[in-house]
Amino acid sequence: MNCWHVRAALRGRPFLAHVTYGRRGAATESRPYMSTTMNQAVTKRKQPATGTPGFVSAILGSLTPADWLFKQTTLLFALAISGTLVLIVVEMATNSTLTFEKFGWSFITRSMWNPVLDDFGALPFIYGTAVSSLIGLLIAVPVSVGVAVFLVETAPRKLATPISFVVQLLAAIPSVVYGLWAIFVLAPLLRDQVYPAIQSKLGFLPLFQGNPNGLGLLTAGIILSVMVVPIITAVTTDVMRAVPPSQREAALALGATKWEATLIILQNARSGITGAVILGLGRAVGETMAVTMVIGNRPEISASLFEPSFTIASAIANEFTEATSEVYRHALVELGLILFVITFAINVAARLLVWAATRRQGEAARA
């Protein structure tokens, strides 16, 4: 039997082989016979699956039952996450109908917060959230980008590894620990040493007027900057490492200095760095315990950074157990809905920017 016989069998046609019968040295005759093993295999291959009903085959398609079960299980997990997100939005919207019916869209622009009279507005909390987060980013972004540049461009491997570990360790510290450190260490230091010096030099500005007692918007912004540094540093480091090495090598080959080559890397990674900053903003906006412990918790809008304020998250944490009326409770839930929409939009924008940056760099590397 040769390869032609095998091909004939695989095509589903029986083949004949001529075998010689007889004693050695005697007259022999040649009889054709069919390869029983090969044709049984062909017949078995041609037979349709009779053990599986037609509708089950239609459901499974080309998958085995185990593969189909695995696919449906993972799909169920994905739908469960999406369904949970939808349920959260629906539940918050349902439990904030009283304030929406009473104040409408003006709830966002009202600055009054009086639980006794059931008169509520979200503007002081939105202001406190925005200003404290902005202060945190103004401090954290230069530090984070500087650390990322050092880790990627300058630091030797023996030094970069422990520094990266320490920076990532900051992200694992619970926020309540940051809050305790801010109350007992940071706030007294700022109150006794830093704020008086700032006020003596820049007290003529409205930003630095008022009573610098250590608890206020500026203190909350400083503690937020410490908390968002690990996130921005980690993403910035990954984005800079994703820049094709040819960009750096080409700049150095053309006579650029190390600093100029680093600037070129930063320009190529600017979209990813922007995404990292927005991710850090999302963390700062939603931070609760650490901010609650140092911001002062007063629902007022003040131009001074030394004055106490309130954020949306700290207001919910502080006052939800004290909500005695239905309107009061619905007002707090609507604050949560506003915070959810803000953080969701921020994180979606950050993910899109990081995705666009990595995709562009990947296309440049393939080119």
pLDDT, tens digit, 9 for 90 and up, residues 4-27? 454 444 454 444 444 444 444 444
Please report the pLDDT score of residue 76 as a whole number: 93
**Distances from the Cα of 153 to the Cα of 23, 48, 248, 249, 325, angstroms:** 86, 63, 10, 12, 58
Rounded to 10 degrees, the C-alpha dihedral 309/126/313/141 comes to -90
Phi, psi of 114 (to 5 degrees): -130, 95
Residues 107, 108, 112, 113: what is their CA dihedral angle, to the nearest 10 degrees? Answer: 80
Least Cα distance to 269 among 145, 156, 150 occurs for 145
Q: Is the pLDDT of residue 140 over 90?
A: yes
The predicted pLDDT at position 303 comes to 87
Question: What pLDDT does 138 receive?
Answer: 94
pLDDT tens digits for range 26-85: 444 444 444 444 445 444 444 444 445 566 666 766 777 788 888 889 989 999 998 998
- How many Cβ atoms are within 10 Å of 304's Cβ, its own excluded? 19
Structure-model confidence comparison of residues 38 and 165, the more confident one: 165
pTM check: above 0.75: no
pLDDT in tens, 202-245: 888 888 888 888 888 999 999 999 999 999 998 899 888 888 88
CA 20 to chain centre: 76
Instruction: Note whether 9 and 42 are within 8 A (CB).
Output: yes
Residue 29, pLDDT score: 47
**Residue 313 · residue 338 · CB < 8 Å:** no
Contact status, residue 187 vs residue 219, Cβ threshold 8 Å: yes
pLDDT on residue 243 = 84
Distance, CA of 61 to chain centre = 35
361 closest CA partner among 246, 263, 244: 244
What does pLDDT average to over the chain? Answer: 81
